[in-house]
Amino acid sequence: MITHIPKRLAILLLVLLVVLALFPLWGKLVFAAKFTFLMQKLTGIMILAILAMSLDLLVGVAGLVSLGHAAFFGLGGYMLALMSPQYDAANLWLVLPAGLAGVAAAALVVGFLSIRTSGIYFIMVTLAFGQMGFYFFNDSKLAGGSDGAYIYVKPTVEAFGTTLVNLDDKLSFFYVTLGVLVGVYALLRVLLASPFGRVISAIGVNEYRVQGLGFNPMAYKLVAFTIAGTIAGLAGFLAATQYGFVNPAMLGWHQSGHVLVMVILGGMGTLFGPVLGAFVLELAHFAFESLTEHWLLPMGVMVIAIVLLLPKGLAGLLLKWTDRKEDGP
Amino acid sequence: MDFWFFLIQLLNGVQYGLLLFLVASGLTLIFGIMGIINLAHGAFYMLGAYLAWWLAGVTGSLVAAVLLSLPIAALVGYVIEAVLVRTLYKRDHLDQVLLTYGLILIFNEAQRIFWGNDVHGVAVPQALAWSFKLTETLSYPAYRVVLSVVCGALALVMYFVIAKTRFGMWVRAGASNREMVAALGINVKLLFGLVFAIGAALAGLAGAISTPITSVAPGMGDTVLIICFVVVVIGGVGSVKGAFLGALLIGLADTFGKVFVPDFASFTVYGVMAAVLLWKPRGLFA
Express each pLDDT in A176-214 by its tens digit. 999 999 999 999 999 999 999 999 999 988 888 989 998
Express each pLDDT in B94-153 by its tens digit. 888 888 888 998 999 999 898 888 888 888 888 887 888 877 788 888 888 989 999 999
pTM of the complete model: 0.85
Express each pLDDT in B182-228 by its tens digit. 888 888 888 888 999 999 999 999 999 999 888 898 888 888 888 89
- Considering only the beta carbons, identify the residue of B97, B99, B106 that sits closest to A297: B106
- Whole-number Å distance between alpha carbons of B85 and B201: 17
Distance between B268 CA and the closest CA of chain A, angstroms: 9
- Considering only the beta carbons, identify the residue of A117, A136, A264 that sits closest to B98: A264
Express each pLDDT in A109-168 by its tens digit. 999 988 888 887 888 788 888 888 888 888 777 777 777 888 877 787 777 777 777 777
Express each pLDDT in A55-88 by its tens digit. 999 998 988 989 899 999 999 999 988 888 877 7
Residue A93 neighbours by CB under 8 Å, 6+ apart: A157, A158
* CB-CB neighbors (< 8 A) of A299 in chain B: 102, 105
Interface A–B counts its CB contacts (< 8 A) at: 116
Using the predicted structure, report yes or no on whether residue B45 has a pLDDT greater than 70. Answer: yes
Closest to A150 measured CA to CA, from A246, A225, A287: A246
- Considering only the beta carbons, identify the residue of A124, A140, A302 that sits closest to B233: A124
Closest to A261 measured CA to CA, from A279, A250, A277: A277
ipTM, two decimals, is 0.80
Residue of A nearest to B102 (CA): A300
> Greater confidence, B179 or B159?
B159
* Pairing assessment for the beta strands A149-150 and A245-246 based on DSSP bridges: antiparallel
Q: Facing residues of A246 across strands? A: A149
Which residue spans within chain B are E strands per DSSP?
A: 131-133, 139-141
Q: Which amino acid is at A294?
A: H
Express each pLDDT in A286-323 by its tens digit. 999 888 888 889 989 998 988 888 888 888 888 888 87
pLDDT of residue A138: 82
Express each pLDDT in A205-222 by its tens digit. 888 898 999 899 899 999
A97 touches chain B (CB under 8 A): no
pLDDT of residue B1: 62
Q: Where are the domains of chain B?
A: 13-132+139-218
Q: Where are the domains of chain A?
A: 7-27+39-323
DSSP state of A38: H
Say if CB A300 and CB B105 are below 8 A apart. yes
Q: Report the percent of chain B where pLDDT is more than 90.
A: 31
Residue of A nearest to B88 (CA): A308
Using the predicted structure, report yes or no on whether residue B157 has a pLDDT greater than 50. Answer: yes
The DSSP code sequence of B145-194 is HHHHHHHHHHHHHHHHHHHHSHHHHHHHHHHH-HHHHHHTT--HHHHHHH
* Residue B91 φ/ψ, nearest 5 degrees: -95, 175
Q: Report the percent of chain A where pLDDT is more than 70.
A: 97
Q: How confident is the model at residue A328 (pLDDT cuts 50, 70, 90)?
A: very low
How many Cβ atoms sit within 10 Å of the Cβ of residue B104?
Answer: 22
How many Cβ atoms sit within 10 Å of the Cβ of residue B60?
Answer: 9
- Mutation target to probe the A interface, by most A beta carbons within 10 A, among B268, B270, B282 is B270
In the Cβ-directed half-sphere of B115, how many Cα atoms lie within 13 Å?
22
User: What's the distance, CA A75 to chain centroid?
Assistant: 13
- Considering only the beta carbons, identify the residue of B31, B266, B274 that sits closest to A125: B274
Q: Report the percent of chain B where pLDDT is more than 70.
A: 99
- Whole-number Å distance between alpha carbons of A73 and A78: 9
Instruction: Tell me which residues of chain A, numbers 56 to 75, contact chain B at a CB-CB cutoff of 8 Å.
Output: 59, 65
- Whole-number Å distance between alpha carbons of A83 and A200: 34
Closest to A114 measured CA to CA, from A74, A62, A78: A62
Closest to B248 measured CA to CA, from B168, B148, B158: B148
| Cβ within 8 Å, pair B263-A139 | yes
* CB-CB neighbors (< 8 A) of A121 in chain B: 233, 237, 277, 281-283
